Amino acid sequence: MVAELGLVGLAGILLGLLFVLLAAGVWIAVALFLVGFVAIWLTTPVPLGQVLATTVWSASASWTLAALPLFIWMGEILFRTRLSEEMFRGLAPWLGRVPGGLLHVNVVGCGIFAAVSGSSAATCATIGKIALPELKARGYNDRVSLGSLAGSGTLGLLIPPSIPMVVYAVAANESVIQVFLGGFLPGAMVMGLYSGYIIVWSWLNPARTPPAEPPTSFVEKLRASARILPCVALILLIFLSLILGLATATECAAWGVLGALVLAAATGSLSWASFWASVMSATRLTCMIMFILAGAAFTTAAMAYTGIPVALANWVNGLGLSPYVLIAALTVMYILLGCLIDGISMIVLTTVVVLPMIKQAGFDLVWFGVYLIILVEMAQITPPVGFNLFVLQNMSGQDSWTVARAALPFFFLLVVAVAIITVFPDIVLFLPRLAFPA
């Protein structure tokens, strides 16, 4: 049957089927399973049940994936603490007199919480629930407040530990720790781009910027910073364990959960109700991701039988595209996908086809993982399905399109970040190579 259809016709049928299923509202995991079934049925007489059982088990029985529910749970525990209030009060004395003032709290606060969360929506909601009212009360511009928070919330995906990074590492069969390490310097770079934009905006719009906060003494700043020291200690515990090789990603996740429980108890936020809510929320999100990964693994196996990924990679190679042109084309593709589906689905739906092309073009897969995560960040602030837009819509009372317009400058800053790491890949690869020399 494949000989009659040809690979192009087969690819068209499978892609069309996937679009129809997704447009009909079928769960992404179920849609992936159905596409895999059709691909195998059209191409090979191998037993469907045997391929299904083998691939789903292989995708699920992974020690690396054990870190996933733990990092999710750690973020859920901290989301229910008073961390956002403590973060704002601890950072405000240091940032209040920088051009742009307390808008920088959005950037730095999200960067700190991202290092213990792994979730973009949780990062955005945690910092936003105290920062938005405080900024509004002090007369800060609503549009820049919303935009900086929407953009900074995406740091929850780029600064490790990151849930999508774990998903990518499993899908690409790469080291989770190396992908984590690759996200550190780009994460700091994106924070610098965001803060730089806020400074420039405040210089260009002095009439729309509140006066600087009253000066505080160095001792007062240190006293205020004591509020965030427990969170910083938890971050250092996780990162140093990873960088020094003292623990695996899964072991770090377990220590992170223990530290999050201690922080929640210390702030008086730990109750049976909040504990159980964090467990159930983490369980639901983990089950959803695992189900999608299982479907993606089955579809990947099915695609291998069709020969489409290899043929596509050879076709792209035959076009003679330069690496920069290939990356530019993929960037446009992922930006469009980000308008339609969530970030994790973007990763699992595309890696089976894209990774052979990336290998053929000579890109490092750790670098590509960080590149892909930045594009997933863009999806968090692009309508109509950007999760951060929904979070801020509920918190601010503005519609999601208003929030999207406010976040537009930060979207373009992420495009700049993609360009920078493409031209200077060592920004991503320096720490992984330092920790794991060839």
Q: Tell me the pTM.
A: 0.82
- Residue 117's CB is within 10 A of a number of other CB atoms, namely 33
Percent of the chain exceeding pLDDT 90 equals 19
Min mean pLDDT across 24-28, 34-38, 373-377 is at 24-28
How far apart (Å, rounded) are the C-alpha atoms in residues 170 and 168? 5
pLDDT of residue 85: 76
Q: Which of 15-19, 56-60, 428-432 has the highest mean pLDDT?
A: 428-432
Q: What is the pLDDT of residue 314?
A: 67
Using the 8-state DSSP alphabet, how is residue 216 labeled?
-
Total domains in the fold of the chain: 1
Average pLDDT over residues 390-409: 84
Domain that holds residue 79: 2-435
- Rounded CA separation 116/122 (Å): 11
- Residue 4: is its pLDDT beyond 60? no
- In the block, residue with structure tokens 């403590």: 86
Closest CA to 92 of 203, 283, 228, 196: 228
**Residue pLDDT, tens place only, 272-295:** 888 998 899 888 888 887 887 788
Contacts of 162 (CB under 8 A, 6+ apart): 114, 118, 156, 180, 183, 373
Tell me which residue has tokens 């601010």. 396
Mean pLDDT score of the chain: 83
Cα(405)–Cα(227) distance, integer angstroms = 34
Q: What is the pLDDT of residues 301-334, one digit of tens each?
A: 787 777 776 676 667 666 777 888 889 988 988 8
Axis crossing angle, helix 400-423 with helix 323-338, rounded to the nearest 10: 160
Mean pLDDT calculated for residue range 261-279? 86
List strand residue ranges (DSSP E) for 35-159, in order: none
Q: Please report, for residues 144, 349, 425, 434, the alpha-carbon distance to residue 172 in angstroms, rounded to integers and kept in the order given.
A: 37, 12, 19, 21
- DSSP at 268: T
Residue 2's pLDDT band (cuts 50, 70, 90): very low
DSSP string, 367-394: HHHHHHHHHHHHHTTSTTT-HHHHHHHH
Identify which of 260, 249, 75, 255 has the alpha carbon closest to the alpha carbon of residue 156.
75
Q: Rg for the chain (alpha carbons), in Å?
A: 22
Token reading at 62 = 């992974």
